[in-house]
Structure 1
């Protein structure tokens, strides 16, 4: 605080001692006029009137000037004249309220009525705060109010707050041959306060009276002019409606035009706009229109009430003046503004919700629709997102995603747990494994040498790509007097004393450790659908020595895998044992020799070629849809010379040792499950390698039945196969599935598999297999109340998803498992000892697949699948039925209408009977019924 301020503060405190501790402005009123005059003389001020009121006002102004040095002079005056001021104080002692008012009234010229009014006005005021100035001010106000009352009585009106006079005037209406008077409330111009206070009463009455007459005259003229301007007939109003409106107009209104009844306005407005509600207020018309808004990222529509606020005076002007009007632009403008406000508020709300769902990575569509779940219930027929509604929505949104957030956190924990895939195979990681890679072309002896090493080991595992090869491996081990077991998906021959196991690769038991494990056809690690089984086996097979056999293009991939595992890798390269030559010209069908295998890439093409070549040769047939037993029998017939040529798909490309001299491609393209494409070099090499097998034929030849096919084969025959590259596909086994299910608290197998496929990131060169077929199967099994292990085994079952026959059986088996009931094998009926048509053959093939499915499940749920022996017996019957069918030179076509066999080489797709029955004679037009 400055020194000057401190000094002024001290002066303010000291002066209070002379005013009974009252501040200067209050205390100075107690000083008598004589003392005040002496104070001004002491201060050297002589030109002030000795009116006490003026003296007090002046001295207050002087005191309030903090920069004036007179404050100290005023204080000195009271200090030096304390005795004089005390005499003044005795003039006005500390009276109570009524006593003080009575004392002050002695200085005023008042009537008894005014005294009573002053006493009433100050009855709640503290005595110290009552001053002569306040009484004088109040007295002036009382006297003015009395004068106003007298004026209002004389003028027959009431003064408004702005000091204009409000009065009633009788106005004349004449229209449509009718006359009537109506009282309206009018106002004069405002009159100044001073004029009303100081002017003579009679003068004011005369002046305002003249103003009333003038204003009434102007109003009457405006009414006459308005009536004259009305059209006849009127565009909106009938004569009756006009008269009723003029008669019913309220006396006092802020509107410039006569008010029309609500019902009449509603009728007029409803012709211009569809509305659900109308309300008339003092200055505006409120219309409620029903509208719909399509919500962002959704097809949902939110119905809401749009309020249109229309200036009532403007609308009345348009109606009375018969102006044309519409509300389209107003509606569109209001609609746009209202919806934009909503969308802005919605965007803020969604953004706020998204902050709580960051971990879930919800799409805009999912996020918005989740908000709508809670928002729409809180906003019936409205777009107004209030702060209260926002808080409710956010609270409910957070509650709704809480479980998802917990699940997401579990997923992240799970991802960290199994990110290093190799550690999911603890037994293999505990062993000091050695990896050996045998690579080379077909017929190079790489698998032969691997099997020799397996046979010499104390314990061993042979992992085959096919059930047929697993069976051959098992029989090879048994032929060397090695006690062995066979484990495939649908067949298990268990020897309790077995030291070796021959198995399909998917059936590898990661809990059985051995000395040597042979993994055959390791290039299959690149297969789109099954590659995961080879990757899992290489990573997790619990063997001291892992011997992998495969084509040369797998070398770099296996090296990368060994580096990831940190395990020793030995690579042994093999050369083909005999020559394989490419025929430079196409081979005509009539020039095909015995010992030839003709390759096609569909069951339909194989059966067509069989029919063609059966005219000249006994033919064996091999394709993927045949059971392993039938394929093996067909191979035996060719190997023994019972048949002279072989018609096959690329099913022979893997591990089938046959006395094939020449491979002839009928086509050089195949459908790979996604698209029709030309053969890859690796496929040409693998299939071609079946020709000229060492020990069976000294030399092999490769060719084609036509020049276009030969061109593609030739191009790929000399071309190196594409190098297999990382990453590899991997898949969860049952233990992994259980781990995922437990952490996520999830019972849906489809959800677990989808999580594994989409969310797993690995430190090594892997990515999760797509598992399309298994996911499709999981959709079926999830409909049943089964534990996760049962669901997993069922989803791994060998299914042909495109076969309604297989799927129907599959669902029947699952239903029985759910009910814990025995699952019977129901043998289907077949007619004759062979199929007559290709469709009957396909049905028989599906029947064998059903048996394979039944047997596969019987090894996992033996207590329920109790007809294993019956299924095996009937598989033999069906295999014989299929084999007899394949011995037939030609299969008949079937009528597309009645399924009856058609004559051989029929040009038509329907039989003669159906043609006669469904088509009119002579015109070849189908009958109408």
Structure 2
């Protein structure tokens, strides 16, 4: 197995260094090659001088043999140095091609014709001394590059420091650049860990001695970490810095949050502190239970180390929530009634619904049968987990003649006379009556982030017949909810329509085949494997979470219609994407959550692997993994054979209706209204009747507090405040948060909010992903608030966004290939050379090859200073200008070797002028 290194946009292995020609074999047939060249080009006897003699060609061949063997040895040991040779001289793969060598031997005046480097003598002549000089020059280049590379590697690995700069490194090969970035990340992480450990030791000392302020120590530690990240903001990409910061925060959470030993010591300090506050408020110290303290401290996360003033403020918020819930008066009863038994206060309780559970694994046809029932209804709706699926059903149902409107947070396509809706589950119309409703992927009801939307839909959708589709893991939960709601349940079991076989062995990346899906669990790996597969001549589609639905849809379409061979996808593929996949290949069976590596669950393996096979097209689906995943196939087999465990947690979350109902009930009883953040904290504090549990409201509370801080004059209505708090903001994406805050502040102050166009010509994938997400947030908010204050032309916005999506699709879909080093045009997928065919022909056959007036110092030419001057890269010069003389002679400096040197001046014998036009080989 060879070593692998990055080279530009591709991977270079030490086993991939191309083989050299057989120099001895070529030498033995040079005369016949020369005769063949003369014959093919119909040269007369008088024209033979245009083609170099076999004797001279052999001399050049001997020099080339030494040079190419030395280079091959160098690149075999250090593959990435080949990239430096490609840049400074010519693509090495081209340099060692047989046809290229024959051109040099018989037709060219120099060794590197493309850059006019290493001339053989004056006016096409041959000077053996100059050949020796060129050999020495290139051997010196090899020795210099090797020494610099080795020294640079030693510096990076053994003597690295934070002040080093990548652009100042003596070796600029991609291996050194990559190693520098890796070492910088490791160095920074080690420094951060050292700071965190030192902070931990100081805090432990305070707990032991009782002397010192732990919050001050923790703040100092954070400042030291912030200083480090600030110092490298221009040395690493922002995404790399963000990832590194996330890893450090994860390490800190292990030490400073529950259930760590240090967090337990802090709890022992905080609980008496909080009880003292309750005494000051004349409250019973037993008002807060130990379980409630644990929940509160867990929600605070690392904020348990903030100063007393902050902790007092947060604790008083908790107190207010707990007092509301535990009061024996009317306010406590209102909250218990509306929050404790939320399902009672639904319009759907006025009818007895029939719930039909289409239960089975993927590829079992369960959703198909549910949709068939939906299409037969007079009025119905389909609730999807993803915009992508909502759009797919919108297309499918309209094609079937069922007039359907698309309704998502970012996109509404109204169809006149529509009787059906296809929408994302968060956009469900709960107060509108339907004959039939389909809720897809019902097992999502247990999801800690979005599960509330499935619970809300199942409890509240106002339809006589509700079809739910999903696996068997939530059957008991569904039964319980149906029982609480007084509805009727019918379960329909389904089996896979296609076989699913686990293959006998794991595979390598090169063994992937057309119609395979390679599963990854991060955007970074998705892009990495896409590049690797394209290097193996596959056409690749790519799907991951940060892509907009339109981009995902187009990537999926290309795979579906055979325009691409393989799809590289994150686990987003498991959510109902209907694709013709013959085989699922897991790249790994672990994924990172909060910078920690976790094995994927048996349920996830079942869901993803189940996508293999397609009814009638692939009657048998296959699943395997890459070779690097040890015992991967055993894990997959165990997961597929396992019976799914019944889930016992069903997630609930707040909505505007409950928020409004609670405040109206409080006001009608002469009590104060709750601010949204207060209400959310109340909801978060509630202990619901089993099987209901509150979703993670941390992000929503954070957004609600941002809204309330911005709305100093209380200008926003409850609906507006709630709407902003529910906005689809990615709090982990700084640009997205900044854009959200900008819109929020302008909305509160009543300023017009203009949409800024995307630079759709950008070649930056990160930029396009982020700006498309920002535009989608703009669309969501403008639709949510009825376009109030949002100033934009919808057609222009959609057109500009569409152009950006098209550009992103192009960047993701196009194979990453080199461009021609001469004219910049994209090279073909099969190209092995650094220049295109046209430039190659032009360079190879153009007239008047030779030296150039005022060309500067080159080895073996006038003004040459020997090996120290090195090769001259003359790529950016303007066009050559020749001073033509009778007899094909040229004047001007640089016409031959150094004056006085053997073969220099005019002492090199008859000058040859190579005929270029119509040469054939």
TM, length-normalised to structure 1: 0.52
Using a 3 Å threshold, how does the CA distance of structure 1 residues 295 and 451 change in structure 2: closer, same or farther?
same
Match of 1:73 in 2: none
The higher radius of gyration belongs to 1
1:885 maps to 811
CA deviations over 1:303-338 (Å, ceiling 9, x no partner) = xxxxxxxxxxxxxxxxxxxxxxxxxxxxxxxxxxxx
Matches within 5 A, 1:515-914: 515-615=435-535, 616-673=537-594, 675-706=596-627, 707-708=629-630, 710-711=632-633, 713-742=635-664, 743=666, 745-746=672-673, 748-758=675-685, 760-785=686-711, 786-829=716-759, 831-832=761-762, 835=763, 840-861=764-785, 862-867=787-792, 868-890=794-816
Tell me if structure 2 keeps the 8 A contact 1:666–1:709. no
Shift, 1:747, TM fit: 5.3
SS in structure 2 of the partner of residue 635 of structure 1? helix
- 1:91-490 pair list within 5 angstroms: 356-357=283-284, 361=288, 409=327, 412-490=332-410
Secondary structure in 2 matching 1:435: strand
- Taking structure 1 as reference, are residues 402 and 561 closer, same or farther at Cα in structure 2, changes over 3 Å only? closer
Q: Is the 8 A contact 1:485 1:492 kept in 2?
A: yes
Cα deviation, 1:195-219, whole Å, max 9, x if unaligned, reads xxxxxxxxxxxxxxxxxxxxxxxxx
TM-score by length of 2: 0.52
Deviation of 1:407 (Å): 8.9
Deviations 1:365-418 (A, max 9, x none): 99xxxxxxxxxxxxxxxxxxxxxxxxxxxxxxx9xx999968964652333222
Say whether the 8 Å CA contact 2:473–2:644 is kept in structure 1: yes
Q: Using the alignment, how far apart are the partners of 1:439 and 1:690 within structure 2?
A: 16
| 3-state DSSP of counterpart to 1:482 | coil
When residues 863 and 695 of structure 1 are mapped into structure 2, their CA distance, relative to the original with a 3 A threshold, is: farther
- CA distance 1:403–1:769, change in 2 (3 Å): closer
How many angstroms does 1:789 deviate by?
1.1
1-structure distance, mates of 2:772, 2:321: 46
Closer/same/farther in 2, CA of residues 874 and 567 from structure 1, 3 Å limit: same
Whether the 8 Å contact between 1:513 and 1:543 is mirrored in structure 2 is: yes
The CA deviation string for residues 17-69 of structure 1, in whole angstroms up to 9 with x for no partner, is xxxxxxxxxxxxxxxxxxxxxxxxxxxxxxxxxxxxxxxxxxxxxxxxxxxxx
Post-superposition offset of 1:886: 1.0
Q: 1:176-210 CA distances to partner (integer Å, 9 max, x unpaired)?
A: xxxxxxxxxxxxxxxxxxxxxxxxxxxxxxxxxxx
Tell me, which stretches of 5 or more residues in structure 2 are unaligned? 1-209, 217-272, 294-315, 819-921
Q: Say if 1:619 and 1:646, in contact at 8 Å, map to a contact too.
A: yes
How many Å apart are 1:460 and its aligned residue?
0.8
Q: Could you say if the C-alpha distance between residues 480 and 298 of structure 1 is closer, same or farther in structure 2, counting changes exceeding 3 Å?
A: closer
Query: Pairwise CA RMSD of aligned residues?
Result: 3.6
Please give the alpha-carbon distance, in whole angstroms, between the structure 2 residues aligned to 1:714 and 1:349.
54
Structure 1, unpaired ranges of 5+: 1-293, 301-345, 367-397, 893-929
Q: Does the C-alpha gap of structure 1 residues 420 and 700 become closer, same or farther in structure 2, counting only changes over 3 Å?
A: same
Q: Judging changes above 3 Å, is the alpha-carbon distance between structure 1 residues 593 and 405 closer, same or farther for their aligned structure 2 residues?
A: closer
Contact 2:339 2:683 (8 Å CA) reproduced: no
Q: By how many angstroms is 1:844 displaced?
A: 1.0
CA 1:672–1:460 in structure 2 vs 1: closer, same or farther (change >3 Å)?
farther
How far apart are the structure 2 equivalents of 1:725 and 1:527? Answer: 11
Deviations 1:194-253 (A, max 9, x none): xxxxxxxxxxxxxxxxxxxxxxxxxxxxxxxxxxxxxxxxxxxxxxxxxxxxxxxxxxxx
Distance (whole Å) between structure 2 residues aligned to residue 544 and residue 561 of structure 1: 16
Question: Aligned partners of 1:359, 1:561: CA distance in 2, in Å?
Answer: 34
Shift of 1:725: 2.4
Residue 746 of structure 1, CA deviation: 4.5
Deviation at 1:713, TM superposition (A): 3.8
Aligned pair in 2 of structure 1 residues 685, 407: CA closer, same or farther (>3 Å)? closer
Deviation at 1:807, TM superposition (A): 1.1
- 1-side partners of 2:348 and 2:413: how far apart? 25
1:504 to 419, 424, 432: 424
Distance apart, 1:889 and its partner CA: 3.0
Q: Over residues 849-905 of structure 1, what are the superposed CA-to-partner deviations in whole Å (9 max), with x where a residue is unaligned?
A: 11111111111121222313332222101111111111333499xxxxxxxxxxxxx
Distance of 2:718 and 2:585 partners within structure 1: 48
